[in-house]
Structure 1
Amino acid sequence: MVTEKAYAKLNLGLKLLNRRSDGFWNILSVMQTIDLYDTLIFKERTQEIEIKCTAPDVPSDSENLIVKAAQLMRKRLGVDRGVHVEVEKRIPVGGGLGGGSSDAAATLRALNRLWNGGLGRDELFEIASLIGSDVPFFLKSGTAIVSGRGEVLEYINLPIRAYYVLIYPNFPVSTRWAYHNQKTSLTGESKYVNFIDSWKERKEDGRLLYRNLENDFERLVEIHYPIIREIREDLLSEGAIAVSLSGTGSTVYGVFKTLQRAQLAAALLRKAGRTIFICQPVC
């Protein structure tokens, strides 16, 4: 038996740079793992790949990235072994927190151990890239500047301690829908892109990241789901130093300097139809 934690992530900014010839977008984002996680327990089976999840809306067939990851590991290792996976789901589905991708990465790590695969990080990275654009990021915890379609990672040290209040409005936003409907011209000047470029050249202080956050999906998502704007305004009114959508949503997070301030804001913002988490980065 093998147990893995699959950590959620936040996008500390997300810019769409240009559409690629393969249909994907080149992006720029700072992604950070946080201490909200799913717990996955893996038990050996003879041949079947079985999933039992605490969230009833999570598929257990080939649509689940856990199944895809297990199938790819079987093919790569040349084995015909099965696995039973129990998933204690804490990361909201469709919340822009990468729960499905993180579960897939946890599956690669776990099966490499359970099936004595002996694969190194580069080999796992190659398999992860076949599953989804952001799956490679979840192979390890930390903070990274992410580019390409999500597979180019530059791990960094973010020199600031922050506390996040995450508000999930209890409905998902489809990543596919968001990318399909993103028709805004993205060729203008971007303070976020300029900041990241300067930061990589050590011309900017990383502690200023939160002042420069931009997410190209915020306008689209707020138009279709006005509650997102309401949540953003609520977080700002309770003292968040920055507020942003994570990924394509639907989760909105506020950045706070102290745990006490984050706890107070979370208590004041609890309402029906909202799920709230207080999180910290995981390095």
Structure 2
Amino acid sequence: MAKDKFPYMIFSPAKVNLHLKILDRRADGYHNIFSLFQCVSMSDRIWICSLTEPSDLVDGVDATPGSNTLIKVLNEFRSYTGLDFFAHIRVEKNIPQGAGLGGGSSNAASLLKALNEIFSTQLGVDDLIEIGAKVGSDVPFFLKSPAAIVSGRGEVLKPIRARDDFFIVLVEPGFCVNTSDAYAWLDAYAEGNPGFFDMQDPNIEEQYLFFEPEKWDFYNSFLPVLLERFPILLDLERLLRTYGAVYTNVSGSGSTFFGVFNYESDAHNACVSLKKKGFSAHCVRPLSFFPG
């Protein structure tokens, strides 16, 4: 571990779910999913300021030991490698929290990659995924590929070639969605809609790779329950379509709503128009590789 590596910084990208099917609850309490994850150019930055602290210190996010993913990463990495250290971590947040963009999971994966490099532990991707899966269901995705079909509870990954030939506008509707609440709403909704969890999936790999975005037949299982509680999402869908979006959806369990555009100028103009209406909007690109 060379002293000249500090402070050490790594980018931590957001993701969107272009498609998200939720399946029945598993015996371990999680739900199985079938989803298409796509990394985008919005990112946090993770700084490792010191590895000689008397205890772990995390700035920039809630650092409650029982819930903070970065502290969990430090604990799991120490347990896996046998290394003895404490760290000072600083997070520069750009990814909104509680927004379905995977910020916490991405932060965890980025920290794991950084620790592996700094300590020269030479852990392979499978080793990092094993550690990351103990921290959070979505962490393995951010360790493997910028686009992937994701199943199981998030740990089963099929990397696919990532496209970067479209544009995305992310819109924050002004509220957060607690993931546990969203799953509870979904379970209640499914009870009144027999067969809901058995909805058919389109051939998402073929559609993603070879279809224009306006022909995607993707969906998000959470959308019906979110629209019931947050009708502003329907307003956002109408606005994005008016501004030229060819595909719209909610990411993860919400709250971020997004539109896919074929042309950068349309995406830029949509972003400007949404900001004029008081929304926090971001024009981003899909990533075909992880940021360095």
> What amino acid is aligned across from residue 156 of structure 1 in structure 2?
I
Distance 2:42 2:180 in 1: 24
Alignment partners' CA distance in 2, 1:180 and 1:250? 15
CA distance in 2, matches of 1:80, 1:213: 46
Partners of 1:165 and 1:262 within 8 A in 2: yes
1:195: Cα distance to partner? 2.1
Q: Deviations over 1:19-69 (max 9, x none)?
A: 22222111111001000000011022234111111xxxx312212101100
Q: Give the one of 51, 59, 64 matched to 2:62.
A: 59
Following superposition, the deviation at residue 175 of structure 1 comes to 0.8
| 1:195 maps onto 2:198 in alignment | no
Q: Any stretches of 5+ residues in structure 1 without a counterpart?
A: none
Alignment-derived partner of residue 122 in structure 2:
118
Q: What residue is the counterpart of 1:15 in the other structure?
A: 21
Name the count of aligned residue pairs.
Answer: 273
State whether structure 2 residue 179 is matched by structure 1 residue 175. yes
Q: Distance in 2 between matches of 1:236 and 1:209?
A: 13
CA contact (8 A) 2:274 2:280 kept: no
Give the corresponding residue for 1:274. 279
Which position in structure 1 is the counterpart of 2:3?
none
How do 1:1-283 and structure 2 match up within 5 A? Answer: 1=6, 2-43=8-49, 44-53=51-60, 58-62=61-65, 63-158=67-162, 161-182=165-186, 183=188, 184=190, 185=193, 186-190=196-200, 193-196=201-204, 199=205, 206-208=210-212, 211-271=216-276, 273-283=278-288
Does the CA-based 8 Å contact 1:160-1:207 persist in structure 2? Answer: no
Give RMSD over aligned pairs. 1.9
AA aligned opposite 1:7: P
CA contact (8 A) 1:47 1:80 kept: no
1:79 Cα deviation from its structure 2 partner: 1.9
Q: CA deviation at 1:187?
A: 4.0
Identity level (%): 36
Structure 1 residue ranges, 4+ long, deviating more than 3 angstroms after superposition: 202-206
Aligned equivalents of 1:6, 1:205: Cα separation in 2: 25
TM-score under structure 2 length normalisation: 0.88
Unaligned runs of 5+ in 2: 1-5
Post-superposition shift, 1:17? 2.4
TM-score, length-scaled by structure 1: 0.91
Q: Residues 20 and 64 from structure 1, CA distance in 2 versus in 1: closer, same or farther, beyond 3 angstroms?
A: same
Q: Is the CA contact (8 Å cut-off) linking 2:36 and 2:150 kept in structure 1?
A: yes
CA separation in 2, counterparts of 1:158 and 1:114? 28
